[in-house]
Every structure is written in structure tokens, then in C-alpha cells.
Structure 1
Amino acid sequence: MRHTCEALLADWGMEHGCGIEELHHYLSTQRRRPIHLIPMTFPERHLFGMWLKMDDFDIIVFEKAASASHKEHIIAHELAHIAFEHRGSVSPSPNGSGQFLDDVDPADVRGMLMRSRYSEDEEQEAETMASLILARATKRWLEPAWGVPEEAAEIVARIESGVGNPDQGGV
């Protein structure tokens, strides 16, 4: 698995130095769709990040209160799931079985991938890739000052509602 991850990084030109910014930019460009990084407070202590694949863009939500190095790892992990095009095993459905985001319209969200819901192989692959990315990082990721992108505002509000965000002012 490690060799597969290393070969993929080499294919991307990132075998000797990469980081969150480079991978984020590379995947957005390769996939021809933006990937929005959104900090949020999760009331569930076992959930630190998730990837939502929308029709025209992707959202990675990560724990706002995590340390800087943990945020980097969470984002690298979720970017790895995107890079490998993992599908996970949970997605919102019309009958409410999407448990976590019941109020998110399934037509708007193609797949919700929560870190704790992937197969063991997918999790191991994403963890291996995240570790390799961060081990090669030539600079640390700095969280930008930002606002919620207009195209993602509605879904971000739904996510906050779905997770029971204690931050009343939003992100």
C-alpha cells in the first residue's frame, strides 16, 4: 500500500516535497472542480473530518478546535479519500438512513464520506497517503482567513444544523 501511495505522489510530481496547499491545488485542477476547506465544530468527539461530494464542487469539513498539525492531518486524510475516489459506506438517503445529515437533500449531495465509515482498506490507504504527504511537506499549512464560498453556503448551513453546531454565529 505504501508503494502505491508513493508511486501516486511521484506521478503527481510530489514525491520530494508537497503539502496540503500543493495537493489541494493539484486535485482541484485535475478534477476541474473546487475543493472548499471548511472549519466547523463537531459535537461528536470521534468525528474530525468529512468529505462531501457535490455536483460541481467538493467540501472538506474539518474540526475547528483541532491543533494546527491535527488539522493538516485531517485535511490530508480527506484529500487522500478524494484522490483515491473512495466511496465510503454512508450517504444521505431519501428515507432518512443517512443518520448524520438527515436534512441534507440527497439530490444535492452525491456522497458523504465520514472518516469512521470507510472500509478498513480505504481508511488504511487514506491514512498512509496522509502520513506520506505530511512527512514530505516542505512547509506547514496555514489556515487562511476566509468566508464560506457562496456556492457552498446553503450546504454548510445544513451541515451545521445536522451536526448540532454549538457555534451560533456559524463558520
Structure 2
Amino acid sequence: MTQAGDDCDTIWYQEHTTPLHQEHIILHELAHLLRGHTESPVEREELLRRLFPSLDTDMVRRVLGRVSYHNQQELEAEYIASLILRRAHWGNDPVPAPKVPGLGARLERALGRRSR
């Protein structure tokens, strides 16, 4: 989340997650700033109140979190953050495939395919 101030903006991010995820969260919020995305907190609070009139809006926000990216600004911020992270970590080289033992077989089982 980004909190706009008079002299500076503050970005809040999840403390208990991986460093890579923290970087992505920060870059996502920076992307919103770079693109000039604006969203009024009052509008968001009002929307939550209308959607869930009998529930506490703080609790709804915590439970729902950011679970989908149907909003064009969110999609754009995700894409920009991913591009920056890729370039920062791997430059122009292709992103290396993760080295996870048995990953191929597990994916095939999950997709309903048999290993050869």
C-alpha cells in the first residue's frame, strides 16, 4: 500500500514474506506512482461498506487482500513490477528455470498427464 504525504510517499509492504516478494510488492507500488495511478481511499471504503454492509471494512480488507487483478491499473502495476524485477535480477538474459527436483513429474501429475 502507498500512503501519499505532503513531502514524501510511504510504501508499506508485507514483512513476513520472501525478500523477492517484498521487492515485487514495493515495485508494484512504485509502478502505481510512476504511472500516476490514483485511487481515493474514501471511494474504496465506501465500496467495501456497500458490498459488505454488516462487516467491518478493516476485516474485509485483511481477508480479501489483493486476490485478483481485474482493475486495469493493478494489471499494469503488476506487469511493470515484473519487468523491473526481471531486468534487475537477470539483465537481458532469459530468466533461469527453477531447479526443483521432480518438478516435471509433479506438474504432469497435477495436469493429469503421465510421465514417460
Q: Give the TM interval when normalised to the shorter protein.
A: 0.5 to 0.7
Identity %: 39
Pair 133,82 (structure 1): closer, same or farther in 2 beyond 3 Å: same
2:28 is matched with 77
RMSD: 2.9
Between the aligned partners of 1:131 and 1:67, the Cα distance in structure 2 is 15
- When normalised by structure 2's length, the TM-score is 0.53
- When normalised by structure 1's length, the TM-score is 0.37
1:58 is matched with 9
Q: C-alpha displacement at 1:118, in angstroms?
A: 8.2
Between the aligned partners of 2:68 and 2:3, the Cα distance in structure 1 is 13
In terms of fraction of residues, the more helix-rich structure is 2
Greater RCO (CA < 8 Å, at least 6 residues apart): 1
Q: Does 1:91 align with 2:41?
A: yes
Q: C-alpha displacement at 1:115, in angstroms?
A: 5.5
Gaps of 5+ in 1: 1-49, 101-113, 140-171
Gaps of 5+ in 2: 49-56, 59-64, 91-116
Pair 118,56 (structure 1): closer, same or farther in 2 beyond 3 Å: farther
The residue matched to 2:12 in structure 1 has which SS? strand
Q: How does 1:2-17 map to 2 (within 5 A)?
A: none
Q: How does 1:1-171 map to 2 (within 5 A)?
A: 50-88=1-39, 90-92=40-42, 97=46, 99-100=57-58, 120-138=71-89
Q: C-alpha displacement at 1:87, in angstroms?
A: 0.7
The residue matched to 2:75 in structure 1 has which SS? helix
